[in-house]
Structure 1
Amino acid sequence: MSIRKLAEKYKSIGLISSSLLVGAIITFIALPFLTRLYSVQDFGEYGVVLAVVSVLSTIANLRLDQALLVADDKHQKGLMFESSVFSLIFCIIFASILSFFFDAQMVLAICAGIFFNTLIQGLYNYKFSHEAEFFCAGLNILRSLVVVLIQLILPLMMSVTLVVSYSISSLFLIFILLIYILKQHLYQFSWYGVKNYKDFIFSNTPHALLNSFSHNLPYYIVSHFIGYQAVGFYSIVERTLRVPINLMSQTIRQFFIRKFKNQDSAYEAFKSSVILSLVSLPFFALFFIVPESLYLFIFGQEWIGISLYFKILALGYWAIFCNPPSSAFLIAKRKSSILFNLQIIELIVKILLFILAYQYIDHKIYMLLAIPISLIFYNFSILYMVWRSQK
C-alpha cells in the first residue's frame, strides 16, 4: 500500500487522535500553573463536579448524540433539537435535586457542564457523521484551550474558585456553540426522530451509565469519607495518568473493532492485549521511583504527599492498556453483554473493597487501593474471556 493511500485510510483516526493529543498537552502544561493558582480544596470540589457531570451527561440527552452517528440525514437535525431540549429539561430538574447535596456554585457548575457536554457531543457527532474531521479536531482543541485559558486568566483578575471558573468556561462555550448551531441551521423542530432510535435509550444508556458511575465512584467515596483535600490530590493524579489512556481508548479500540469485524481471531486480540500491557508496564513503574521532590517542583509545595496517590493508582492503571484489543474483539463479535456483566461484578468488587478498607485500615487514604485491585480484576477478566473463546 502506498504512503498516500495509507495516509488517506487513517486520516480520520490521525486527525482526531492529534487533536486529542493537543488538548491533553494543553491541559497537562497548564497543571503546574493551575496548582499554584488554586488550592487543593478547589481541586477537590472541581473533581467532584467533573465526576457528577461525567455520570449525568451519559443520560441527560437520552444518548441521542450517539444516535446522530447512524441516523438518516432527514432525522439528524431533529435529533439535534430533541437532544438539546431533553438535556436542558434534565438540567432544570436535577438542579433542584442537587441543591440538597451541594451549594449553589457547584450546582451551577454541574448543570452548565452537563448541558455543554451534551451540546458539544451532539454537534461533534453530527459533523463526524458528515466526515468533517477537521471541524471535529478543531472542536476538541477549542474545548481544552478555552477551559484552560479561562482557568488561568480569571484568578489574575479576581478572587475565584476553580468551580466558578469551570462554570464560566462552560457557559461561554455553550453560547459559542448555540450561535454556531443557529447560524448554520443545524436544527429542526421535531419530536418524531426519537421514535426511530429508542434502542439508544434502552440499550446504550444503561451500559454507558454504569461505566461512568463505576469510574467516578472514587470521587464520591473519597469526598464523603476522607474530604475534599484528598479528592484534590486524587483528581490531579487521575487526570495525569488518564492522558495516555484516553488517547488510546479513542483510537486503538476503534482500529481493533474495525479489524475484528471481519477477522475472527481471538488469539490476535489476546496477543495484542498482552503486548500492550507489557509495553505500558515500564512507563507506570516509573511512578514508583520518582521522588516526592519532583512532584513538588511541578505542582507546588502545597501538594506534599501526592507521590503516594501516584503509586496507588499506577498500580492498577497499567492494566487498562490490555483492554482495547480484547474489549474491541468482544464488541466486534456482538458480545458486549459480557463487558456489561463484568462491569457489574467490577463495581460490586470495588464497593466491597472500599467497605473493607474503611472498616479495617486506619489510614483512610489506603481505601484507594480498591481502585487498582478492581481495575486489574476487570481488565484481566476481559482478557480471560477472550482467551477462553479461542478454545
Structure 2
Amino acid sequence: MTRIKRLLTRPSFAGNAALLASSTILGQGLVILVQPLLTRMYRPEDFGLLALYTSILSLAAVVLNLRYEQAIQLPKEETEARNLLVLSLVLGLGSSVLIGVAFILLRQTLSGWFGIMLPVWFAWLVLLGLACVALMQAGSMWALRLSRFGVLAQTKFQQGLWQALGQMLPGLFSLGSGGLILGDVLGRLGGVHALVRLWPRTLQGITAQSLYHVAHRYRSFLIYGTGAALLTAASFHLPFIVLTAFFGAAAMGQFSLSYRITTIPVTLVAQSIGQVFFSRAAAARDTPALAQLTERTAAVLFALGLPVFGALWVVAPVAFPLVFGANWDEAGRYAQLLAPYLLFSMVAQPLSNLLTIREWQRGLLAFTIFELLLRMGAIYWGVTTQQMYWAVVLFALSSLLVALLSMGLFFRAAGASWQGFWLKVRKYVWFDLLSLLLLWGAGYWLKGWWWVGAAVLVVFLLLLRSFVEIRREGLE
C-alpha cells in the first residue's frame, strides 16, 4: 500500500507535467501568435502543401526507428537501454535516408498520385525532416528514461520558437509553401538540438552482438508495434492525402488549418501529461496503482478539455474568420465538427502508452486495423458525396468512435473502469455543460468579437474551477 500511495501522490507527476505543458505553451504559443499573420501571408494552397508534407512525415515516422525507441523505458539495466538508444538512432537515420532517396527518385510518380506537382526542394526537405523526426523520437525516449523533463521542456520551447521564426521570415519575402515547410523543418532541428547533449558520450558496452541481443529481445515492438503504429498513423494522415488528391490543395488548406489549430490544446496538455504518465505508469505496471493512476489521469484530461472544446464547438464558425481572415470561414465550420472528437482524443492519446507498457502489441495491431478500415471507409463515403463538408463530417464521426473505443481498450489494459472514470468527472460535466449552454444562448445578443471574448472568459473561468477542484480532490 505504501508503494501505491507513493506512486499516486508524489508531487513530481503534477510538477513534471506542468513543466512540460508550460514549455509547450511557450513554444506553441509563439506558433499560435503568428498564425493570424501567416494566414495573411500565405494562401490556402500553401497550407495544403504543408499539410501534405507533415502527413508524409507522420506516416513515415512510425517506421523510422522500427518502434525500438518505445522500449528504451523498459530495461532495468542501463547498458541494455543504451543499446536500445543506439539501435534506434542507427535504424532511424538509415531508414530516413532510404525513404528520402526513394521519395526523390519517385517524385514524378508521387506527384501524379497526390494530384499536385511536387517541387524538387519538397522531396529533399522530406529527407531532412525524416532525419530530424528519427533523432527526436529516440532522443525524447532517452530523456524520459533519465527523467530529464527540463531538457524535454527546452525541446518543446525551441521547436516552437524556431518554427515560428522560420515560417514568418520567408513569408515576408513571399516564398509561398516553401517558406511554411522550411519553417517546419527548422522547428524540428531546434528540437533535436536540445536533445543531443543527453546522448551517451561513449560506446562502451555497445557491440554488434549486444545490438542484436536487444533487437531480438524486443522484437515484438518491431513485429507488432511497427505495423500497429503504421496503421494508426495511416488512419490519421491518409485522409489528408486522399482529401488533397480529390478536393485540391485549397480545400485541404482550409481543413488543415482547422485541424492544426484545434489540435493545439491536445499538444499542449495531452502530450505533456502523456510523457509523464508513461514514466509513472511504467513504474506502476505490476501494481494495482496502475488502474488508479489511469482513471485519475483520464479525469484530469477530460476536466481540462471539456471547457476548451465545448467553447470551440460553440464559437468556431464565428471566431476563425475574425482571427485568421475572411478567407478562412470554411476552416471555422470544420473546427466545429472536429471539437467532440478532439475532446476524447485528448483523453485517449496519453493513455495509449499503456499498451506499450503491458506489451500488448498483438491487441494493438488488431485494433489499429479496425481503426484504419473505419476511418478510410468514412473518407471513401465522404469522397463519393463530392462535397468536402460531408467528407469532414464522416471523418469526425468515425474518429470520435475510434477515440471512445480506444479509451475502453486502454482502461482494460490498466484494469481501470468507465465507472471509476465517470465518478471522477461527473461534477465537471454538469457544471461545464450548463455554462456552455449559456454561452451558446449569449450568441443571440453578443456578436463578433464580443461573443468570442465571452467564450474566452468562460473557458478561463471553467478551467480555473477545474484546477481548483483537481487540487482539492488530489487528482493531480
- Pick aligned residue for 2:128 from 85, 100, 112: 112
2:144 and 2:350 map into 1 onto residues whose CA distance is 23
Q: Deviations over 1:73-124 (max 9, x none)?
A: 3526743345333433332233323442132232123222111111233333
TM superposition shift of 1:152:
0.5
Aligned to 2:248: 227
Q: Which stretch of the first structure deviates more once superposed, 344-353 or 94-103?
A: 94-103
Aligned to 1:298: 323
1:122 and 1:384 map into 2 onto residues whose CA distance is 29
- AA in 2 matched with 1:133: F
1:56 and 1:290 map into 2 onto residues whose CA distance is 35
Aligned to 1:372: 396
SS in 1 for 2:174: coil
> Is the 8 Å Cα contact of residues 20 and 247 (structure 1) preserved in structure 2?
yes
Q: Which stretch of the first structure deviates more once superposed, 341-350 or 27-36?
A: 341-350
**Cα gap change, 1:203/1:192 in structure 2, threshold over 3 Å: closer, same or farther?**
farther
- AA in 2 matched with 1:136: L
2:108 and 2:264 map into 1 onto residues whose CA distance is 32
Query: Percent identity over the alignment?
Result: 18
- Pick aligned residue for 1:238 from 242, 256, 259: 259
SS in 2 for 1:62: coil
Taking the TM superposition and a 5 Å limit, the aligned residue runs for 1:303-342 are: 303-323=328-348, 327=352, 334-335=359-360, 337-342=362-367
Aligned to 1:75: 83
> Is the 8 Å Cα contact of residues 57 and 118 (structure 1) preserved in structure 2?
yes
> Is the 8 Å Cα contact of residues 345 and 403 (structure 2) preserved in structure 1?
yes
1:278 and 1:75 map into 2 onto residues whose CA distance is 40
TM superposition shift of 1:338:
3.7
SS in 2 for 1:100: helix
1:161 and 1:193 map into 2 onto residues whose CA distance is 48
The answer on 1:349 being equivalent to 2:374 is yes
> Is the 8 Å Cα contact of residues 162 and 186 (structure 2) preserved in structure 1?
no
TM superposition shift of 1:154:
1.8
**Cα gap change, 1:280/1:312 in structure 2, threshold over 3 Å: closer, same or farther?**
same
The answer on 1:213 being equivalent to 2:229 is no
> Is the 8 Å Cα contact of residues 358 and 364 (structure 1) preserved in structure 2?
yes
The answer on 1:36 being equivalent to 2:36 is no
Q: Which stretch of the first structure deviates more once superposed, 44-53 or 316-325?
A: 316-325
TM superposition shift of 1:287:
3.1
**Cα gap change, 1:176/1:133 in structure 2, threshold over 3 Å: closer, same or farther?**
closer
Q: Which stretch of the first structure deviates more once superposed, 147-156 or 325-334?
A: 325-334
1:342 and 1:186 map into 2 onto residues whose CA distance is 40
TM superposition shift of 1:194:
3.9
> Is the 8 Å Cα contact of residues 267 and 387 (structure 1) preserved in structure 2?
no
> Is the 8 Å Cα contact of residues 228 and 361 (structure 2) preserved in structure 1?
no
2:266 and 2:25 map into 1 onto residues whose CA distance is 11
- Pick aligned residue for 2:225 from 174, 190, 204: 204
Unaligned runs of 5+ in 2: 112-117, 420-476
Q: TM-score, normalised by structure 1?
A: 0.82
> Is the 8 Å Cα contact of residues 65 and 83 (structure 1) preserved in structure 2?
no
SS in 1 for 2:171: helix
Q: Deviations over 1:297-324 (max 9, x none)?
A: 2111222322211122124222324425
SS in 2 for 1:160: coil
2:302 and 2:316 map into 1 onto residues whose CA distance is 25
The answer on 1:262 being equivalent to 2:287 is yes
- Pick aligned residue for 1:140 from 147, 156, 160: 156
> Is the 8 Å Cα contact of residues 151 and 165 (structure 1) preserved in structure 2?
yes
> Is the 8 Å Cα contact of residues 124 and 136 (structure 1) preserved in structure 2?
yes
The answer on 1:85 being equivalent to 2:100 is no
1:78 and 1:316 map into 2 onto residues whose CA distance is 37
The number of residues matched between the two structures is 387
What is the alpha-carbon root mean square deviation over aligned residues? Answer: 3.8
Q: Which stretch of the first structure deviates more once superposed, 120-129 or 20-29?
A: 120-129
Q: Which stretch of the first structure deviates more once superposed, 21-30 or 334-343?
A: 334-343
1:184 and 1:345 map into 2 onto residues whose CA distance is 38
The answer on 1:150 being equivalent to 2:159 is no
Aligned to 1:51: 55
TM superposition shift of 1:35:
0.8
TM superposition shift of 1:285:
3.1
1:314 and 1:177 map into 2 onto residues whose CA distance is 31
2:267 and 2:122 map into 1 onto residues whose CA distance is 26
**Cα gap change, 1:368/1:277 in structure 2, threshold over 3 Å: closer, same or farther?**
same
TM superposition shift of 1:216:
0.9
2:387 and 2:307 map into 1 onto residues whose CA distance is 28
TM superposition shift of 1:63:
3.0
Unaligned runs of 5+ in 1: none
2:84 and 2:351 map into 1 onto residues whose CA distance is 32
> Is the 8 Å Cα contact of residues 261 and 332 (structure 1) preserved in structure 2?
no
